[in-house]
Structure 1
Amino acid sequence: MLKKTQGIVLSAIRYKETSIIVKIFTRELGLKSYLVNGVRSQGNKSKTALYQPLTLLDLVVYDKDNGGLQRISEAQLARAHQLIPFDFTRTGLALFITEVISKSIYENYQNESLFDFLHNCIVELDHKEAQLAQFPLVFLLENAIYLGFAPEEALGFLAESRSQPFSPAELTLAENYLSILMQESFSNTVRINKALRQKLLDHLLDFYSQHLDNPGNWKSLAILRQINE
Structure 2
Amino acid sequence: MQSSTEALTLTTVKYGDSSLIAACYTKEYGLQSYMLKGILSSRTNKKTPKSLFEPLTLLELEATKNSTDRLGFIKEAKLHYPYQTIPFDLRKKTLLFFLAEVIQQVIKEEQEANNQLYAFLKKRMLWLDTEENVGLFHIKLMLDLSKFIGFYPNISDKTAPYFDLETGCMNTIKPRGSFLDGSIKVAWVQLLGMDFDKVGEMKLSRQEKSVLLDSVVIYFELHLQQFKSPKSTKILNEIFK
Give distance in 1, aligned partners of 2:139 and 2:40. 36
- How far the C-alpha of 1:42 sits from its partner, in A, is 1.3
2:238 equivalent among 182, 201, 226: 226
**CA shift at 1:172, angstroms?**
5.8
The CA distance in 2 between the partners of 1:140 and 1:191, in whole Å, is 19
1:89 aligns to what SS in structure 2? helix
Equivalent residue for 2:88?
86
2:221 matched to 1:216? no
Deviations 1:61-112 (A, max 9, x none): 1125545311112211101122222211111111111111122121553322
Paired AA for residue 3 in structure 2: K
Residue of structure 1 aligned with 2:179, choices 164, 169, 179: 164
The separation in 2 between residues aligned to 1:190 and 1:98, in whole angstroms, is 24
Indicate the SS of the match to 1:57.
strand
Match of 1:119 among 119, 122, 135: 122
Alpha-carbon deviation of 1:160?
3.0
Distance 2:190 2:207 in 1: 14
1:54 equivalent in alignment to 2:56: yes
Is 1:14–2:27 an aligned residue pair?
no
Q: Distance in 1 between matches of 2:101 and 2:31?
A: 14
User: Does residue 173 of the first structure (1) align with residue 173 of the second (2)?
Assistant: no
Q: Is the 8 A contact 2:18 2:38 kept in 1?
A: yes
Q: What is aligned with 1:38?
A: 38
TM-score w.r.t. length of structure 2: 0.83
Q: Is the 8 A contact 2:20 2:36 kept in 1?
A: yes
2:198 to 187, 198, 203: 187
Distance in 2 (alpha carbons) for counterparts of 1:12 and 1:48: 10
8 Å CA contact 1:165, 1:199 repeated in 2: no
Q: Where in structure 2 are the equivalents of 1:76-155 lying within 5 Å?
A: 76-106=78-108, 108-110=110-112, 111-127=114-130, 129-153=131-155
How far the C-alpha of 1:55 sits from its partner, in A, is: 1.0
- Give yes or no for contact 1:114–1:146 (8 Å, CA) kept in 2: yes
The 1:76/1:196 distance shift into structure 2, 3 A limit, reads same
The number of equivalent residue pairs is 224
CA spacing shift, 1:60–1:228, aligned 2, 3 Å:
same
Kindly indicate which of the two structures has a greater share of residues assigned to helix.
1
Shift of 1:131: 3.1
Gaps of 5+ in 2: 167-176
- State the AA in 1 paired with 2:146: A
Distance change (3 Å), C-alpha of 1:164 and 1:7: same
The unaligned stretches of length 5 or more in structure 1 are none
SS at match of 2:146: helix
Q: Take 2:237 and 2:66, find their aligned partners in 1: how far apart are those partners?
A: 42
What TM-score, normalized by structure 1, do the two folds share?
0.87
Q: Secondary structure at the match of 1:28?
A: coil
> Secondary structure in 2 aligned to 1:17?
coil
The AA in structure 2 aligned to 1:73 is K
